[in-house]
């Protein structure tokens, strides 16, 4: 068993544990550039390492880094309420997060289902099917509905102890103009139910008055990656909207600031070694709709009634504060514009540090049997990753300029353009809701993809989706396929390398990539795009639309070209040799050209010049056996029969990473007919 088997095993175990511990039924959107997971209630579990939390930019299927969401919560405040025990409350707040993570007062038998419009494609690399940790290709509760108004929908229904049933529907899209936000539609129905059975009312029929719905979010740009060890929490928050001159309906956003604890200005969290800006995200939670009343579904532009933020240290919860105090937070009517308005010098001030932003809608009357609808959205804007790397390096060496600025001023102004990106994405979300989600034009479905390594080439084949009709009009509008590739890691930058229409064969379902190098790993995805003829209701009529760039990319297994197996042992050697961690970073690129941060997954060397069958044994200078490698290795999808290459990830047979030093290898070989070829030996050097 090698690293890839161990990784798959651990990922599967984590998912299984999540299901068994009651956090289960985790559902995730992974179709667009913004990924997020939704649980059986609004609260996030206190411990659930395998989840997306407003992950942006998307694409990291394994570790889900760049998580921007620490927690979310929902409070419902009511007046003159009688609980299930017959106790009367002048004011009462039903609290579902942020601080009571698992919301133990609510049932765990809750519906949380994911629906999707098109079949999600499998990805096979050298015959092995890739595994999606949070977005499995099959499984119970994951259903297909052609009639969806979005490409993906997650529907969650749970009850709260004031007798209100919450139905949350989230919508995510593949359309490139709408794939950086997720819409969340909430319906709150007073049905008296406080358990998993909405047909029975455990509470007596009562009309609820003075009802407030409070939404709480703790947002951290990129998880405060620049201060992981100390948890500095140096983010600002700002409210934009429903103010004179503002065009948006209402938007909280959070962004990284200067902790003022380092010699440098660390706005954007520059990496201390490379300068890369690690926290460039502007994370937003916005408002799309709030009913005027239970009997008036028109949008009430005066809502939200309260807009405020609280430092995490001052956030209220049951047991520490009275119901009146918590209700007052919802009903205060404060219209804050955030922490960055000039009142505070630094974001680490205890009065504002680690802000939890909040919307509260109300007060509503909610008679028994009636309901209220509120619609929010999540969105993230940012400069691109390659720009964050390039500009970060320039800032570190003192050569960065932007809009006539230099140094820290240029850095901060460049990062701040992420706000412009966020506001544009927010305007797209508002446009989509205003014009009807069903009117967002749809690209073709993503094809199933097969990637096979070959001698001096990599062959891609995919299912034909050229006959897929536009789901809105029923017309055939397919135009072609596009192939994208990244080198070294799936976290690196993908570049368009081939367009079927431009090649003159728009409906071909195969591409042979010959522009490849032995010893490199390659990662791909294939999209289908239309001719734009059915795009009559979109933001940009006539624009060609392209399928999701995430549905069919490989990430567990890279594909590498190989040479055919040799008939002797005369040319066996190791590359690279020496292997020097400081000399190469992130996929084998020189340090000044790296594009990923997860270097350790590419810690590989290769034995080349092998015969058809071989056994490789690696020893320390003291003669201790480190690892035994079989070629080909039936447990490794990257080990190709009849090739001359075999990769090793520097992991011993006891799952230890090897240390710096000199190592010796002995290779036994056999030819295609099984004839024994003898042995050969050599050495290689690892420098860490």
For residue 127, the model assigns a pLDDT of: 87
For residue 207, the model assigns a pLDDT of: 96
For residue 133, the model assigns a pLDDT of: 84
What residue segments make up the domains of the chain, in order of their start? 3-437, 573-687
Cα distance between residue 640 and residue 286, in whole Å: 50
Placement of tokens 């039903």 in the chain: 94
Residue 417 backbone phi and psi in degrees, to 5: -70, -15
For residue 369, the model assigns a pLDDT of: 95
Q: With CA atoms as reference, report the closest residue to 510 among 500, 518, 501.
A: 500
Could you tell me the pTM of the whole model? Answer: 0.86
Residues of the chain with pLDDT under 50: 1-24, 102, 104-108, 139-141, 583-601
End-to-end CA distance of the chain: 24
For residue 18, the model assigns a pLDDT of: 42
Q: What is the 3-state secondary structure (H, E, C) of 373-407?
A: EEEEEEEEECCCHHHHHHHHHHHHHCCCEECCEEH
Q: Domain spanning 573-687 has what CATH number?
A: 2.60.40.4070
Q: State the Rg of the chain over Cα.
A: 28
For residue 66, the model assigns a pLDDT of: 85
Q: Spell out where 241-331 has E strands.
A: 251-256, 282-293, 296-299, 306-311
- The string of pLDDT tens digits covering residues 196-243 is 777 788 898 999 999 999 999 999 998 876 665 556 789 999 999 876
The three-state secondary structure class of 631 is: strand
Cα distance between residue 253 and residue 243, in whole Å: 15
Q: With CA atoms as reference, report the closest residue to 158 among 125, 186, 129.
A: 186
Cα 95 to Cα 83, 127, 316, distances in angstroms: 14, 49, 10
Q: From its phi and psi, is residue 372 left (phi > 0), alpha (psi between -120 and 50) or beta? A: beta
Burial class (CB in 10 A: 0-12, 13-18, 19+), 514: exposed
């Amino acid at each position: 068993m090698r690293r890839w088997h161990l990784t798959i095993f651990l990922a599967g175990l984590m998912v299984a544990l999540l299901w068994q511990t009651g956090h289960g039924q985790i559902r995730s959107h992974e179709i667009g550039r913004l990924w997020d997971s939704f649980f059986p209630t609004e609260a996030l579990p206190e411990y659930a390492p395998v989840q997306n939390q407003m992950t942006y930019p998307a694409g990291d299927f394994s570790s889900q880094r760049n998580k921007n969401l620490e927690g979310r919560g929902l409070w419902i405040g009511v007046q003159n309420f009688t609980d299930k025990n017959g106790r009367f409350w002048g004011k009462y707040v039903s609290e579902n997060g942020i601080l009571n993570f698992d919301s133990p007062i609510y049932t765990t038998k809750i519906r949380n289902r994911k629906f999707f419009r098109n079949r999600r494609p499998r990805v096979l690399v050298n015959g092995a099917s890739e595994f999606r940790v949070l977005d499995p290709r099959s499984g119970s509760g994951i259903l297909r509905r052609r009639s969806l108004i979005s490409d993906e929908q997650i529907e969650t229904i749970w009850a709260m102890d004031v007798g209100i049933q919450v139905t949350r529907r989230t919508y995510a899209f593949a359309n490139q103009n709408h794939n950086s936000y997720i819409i969340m539609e909430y319906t709150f129905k007073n049905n008296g139910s406080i358990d998993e059975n909405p047909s029975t009312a455990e509470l007596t029929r009562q009309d609820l008055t003075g009802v407030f719905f409070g939404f709480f979010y703790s947002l951290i740009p990129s998880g405060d990656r620049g201060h992981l060890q100390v948890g500095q929490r140096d983010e600002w928050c700002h409210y934009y909207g429903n103010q004179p001159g503002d065009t948006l309906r209402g938007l909280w956003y959070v962004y990284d600031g200067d902790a003022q604890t380092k010699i440098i200005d660390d706005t954007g969290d520059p990496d201390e070694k490379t300068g890369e800006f690690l926290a460039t995200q502007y994370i937003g939670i916005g408002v799309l709709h709030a009913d005027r009343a239970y009997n008036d579904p028109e949008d009430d532009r005066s809502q939200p009634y309260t807009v405020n933020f609280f430092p995490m240290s001052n956030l209220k919860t049951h047991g520490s504060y009275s119901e009146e105090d918590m209700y007052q937070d919802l009903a205060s009517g404060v219209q804050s514009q955030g922490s960055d308005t000039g009142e505070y010098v630094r974001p680490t001030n205890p009065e504002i540090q680690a802000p939890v932003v909040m919307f509260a809608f109300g007060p509503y009357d909610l008679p028994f049997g009636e309901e209220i609808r509120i619609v929010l959205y999540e969105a993230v804007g940012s400069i691109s990753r390659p720009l964050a790397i390039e500009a970060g390096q320039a800032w570190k060496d003192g050569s960065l300029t932007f809009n006539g600025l230099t140094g820290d001023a240029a850095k901060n102004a460049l990062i701040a353009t992420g706000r412009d990106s966020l506001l544009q994405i927010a305007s797209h979300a508002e446009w989509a809701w205003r014009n009807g989600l069903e009117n967002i034009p749809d690209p073709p479905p993503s094809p199933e993809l097969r990637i096979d390594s070959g001698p001096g080439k990599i062959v891609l084949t995919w299912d034909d989706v050229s006959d897929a009709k536009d789901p809105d009009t029923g017309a055939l509008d397919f135009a072609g396929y596009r192939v994208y590739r990244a080198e070294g890691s799936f976290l690196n930058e993908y570049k368009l390398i081939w367009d079927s229409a431009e090649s003159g064969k728009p409906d071909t379902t195969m591409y042979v990539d010959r522009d490849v190098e032995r010893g490199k790993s390659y990662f791909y995805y294939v999209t289908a795009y239309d001719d734009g003829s059915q795009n009559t209701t979109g933001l940009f009529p006539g624009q060609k639309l392209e399928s999701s760039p995430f549905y069919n990319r490989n990430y567990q297994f890279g594909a590498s070209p190989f040479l055919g197996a040799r008939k002797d042992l005369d040319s066996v050697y190791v590359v690279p040799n020496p292997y020097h961690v400081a000399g190469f970073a992130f996929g084998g690129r020189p340090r000044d050209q790296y594009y990923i941060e997860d270097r350790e997954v590419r810690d590989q060397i290769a034995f080349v010049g092998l015969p058809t069958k071989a056994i490789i044994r690696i020893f320390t200078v003291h003669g201790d056996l480190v690892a035994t490698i079989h070629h080909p290795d039936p447990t490794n999808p990257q080990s190709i029969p009849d090739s001359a290459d075999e990769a090793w990830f520097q992991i011993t047979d006891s799952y230890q990473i090897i240390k710096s030093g000199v190592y010796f290898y002995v290779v036994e070989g056999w030819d295609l007919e099984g004839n024994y070829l003898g042995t050969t030996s050599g050495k290689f050097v690892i420098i860490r």
